[in-house]
Structure 1
Amino acid sequence: METICFFNTAKAWGGGEKWHFEVSRHLHQNGFDVFVVAHEKSALLEKLIGAQIPCKGIAISNLSFINPFSVRQVYQSLASRKIKTIVMNLSRDVKIAGRMAKKAGIPRIIYRRGSAIPIKNTWFNRYLFKNIITEILANSQATKKTILANNANLFDENNINVIHNGIDTGKTVPQAKKNNILTILTLGRLEYQKNHKFLLHLAVALKKRGLQFLIRIGGDGRLKEQLTKMAITLGVGDYIRFDGFIESPLTYINQADIFVLPSRWEGFGYVLAEAALCKKPIVAFDVSSNPELISHGTSGYLLPKDDVNAFADAIIKLDQQPELREAFGRNGHQFVTEHLDQNQQLQKIQDYLVHA
């Protein structure tokens, strides 16, 4: 049986690593020959070992593609198996594993793109996309568009496929304790992309309008200290709670009255699917892949990026109309159940990887 190889050397656990783990586990459980290469000190490798999925730990850095020892090690790992398809998630992995996959004669070299950021039009990228990568798998239409944003001829658009991430729609969502105060909640790393500073300015606007509320921010990151100080400086420290890393996202999200996402961009906003599964109304920006998960005026509001007043208007409207919050929540739940069911999406990925 020919092998499907997944190659992901990120140390940290994120959306791409979650995708690689869930897809490789699904294929392995369904009898396909799977082999996963992960960073030797990564959370992904730990989960693969725990799930008894055939895997190998390796040490790869951003400059490993110019290290002869690393290049040879990757080549030997790939050439020693009868691999038909390799799927990579990081640009640094494409530079080394993609090239070695080509050398080893692997016919399908797939770059799985999960970030809605335009690809730089460098000579090296042009070489990789013209000579190494055979297909691209994107997690949203927005991500697909950004691939060719800086160079329409970078890659054949017909070889870019889109399959959205899935969510376990059968998972039981724990009941949350109701608070007397309006709870506005978000979940995401405290990094530039997630744009949490916007929520601090939103708190200022809501405070001026006399609304009684609490904004809860789940997640950790490099900007935590800066954001905490900024909340105090703006006079909204009592209206903001930083809850740190969240172990159980659905349990956490279910404590919200309204879920908000101020991200500057999202390849695929998985937390939006989770919020919809919890039947929460959503307020987010009309950017990147958000319109693929939220229907404006039906399951939430999609608003101009960084428009504090529009965001505040939407929050107050949802606060004053609990029946609207419930309707948005029901509609969002119906959407993810019908279109983003995990089993359904995993089957699409299986068909793409195995039968294409």
Structure 2
Amino acid sequence: MRAFCVLFFRDSIMKFVDEATIDVAAGDGGNGCASFRHEKYKEFGGPDGGDGGRGGHVLALADSNLNTLVDFRYTRRFEAQRGEHGKGSDMFGTKGDDIVLKMPVGTIISDAETGEVLHELLQPGELITIAKGGDGGFGNMHYKSSTNRAPRQKTPGWPGERRALKLELKVLADVGLLGMPNAGKSTLIAAVSNARPKIADYPFTTLYPNLGVVRVGPEKSFVVADVPGLIEGASEGAGLGHQFLRHLQRTRLLLHLVDVAPFDDAVDPVQQAKAIMGELKKYDAELYAKPRWLVLNKLDMVPADERAARVKDIVKRLRYKGPVFEISALTREGCEFLVQKIYEHIAKVHEAAQPHVEVDPRFAGNP
């Protein structure tokens, strides 16, 4: 039974890969050709050696249909085609074919040796060059001049770039869910979005991040991310959640889910909430400073006449001054109101992030 559990855990965690190291090699340029025209009845044919073709580039494409880097776990070396050599009769070499590596939106590409960040793929369809192909060498026709009518010079092609790259994925989501294992994060994301995470009545059912699109209305939506639950000591490596906290760094809002009706009476929701905030602060001060709303979940498990008192007690002991939402992700009570408020907040953040452009009054209203 123990062996089965270990295999199940490994298979589950391998479904999500957010780091990979790859080697890329652009194609070398083709060599130039030294050749002279040999045609009947043409005594002075002259040089006709063509240039070599450019080597193929290695490109990275941001693909919105991908959400892991698993394709780079087993295939780690990528080589583009080299350029064709130049030929006689003024024939230039054909350039090598480029290769395109599809990566999830949110991938950070860094130099594996220096750690320097080279690029971040933030927009779907974004295409960048991560290794440039070498230029082709010059043929002898390139050196022809009035004083050098029979050049024999030619040059080899330039080598293509070769790099060891580290790929790191930080998912792009507007809202991130925080909470202890079994706080109801997966149930909430399943209730309000198109995501269908695994849900069960034991901790650590979420072993890798889940993304869901919440549709509020026509052309009105936002993306929510659910990561594995945190436990005390997560910033030192305990549990699973610390491995995926990076995916919350690009969110605009954090929802801190608190289980107000834990199965174990000895468990204090307030102490759990304080532990989460402590681990968040230890991991990243900027992440801790993000807007964070308190969401009290599982109110369906609390008698109706006790709800107000329990909510008031939790908020008071946490000394929390921000927005508080009372929901039941299981019955969806309060979820619609929460979604509307989230969308309003995200829309304001998007609007504030748009650059302000001054319009000349003479052209205002003109097409």
TM-score higher than 0.5 here?
A: no
Q: Quick check: which one's helix share is greater?
A: 1
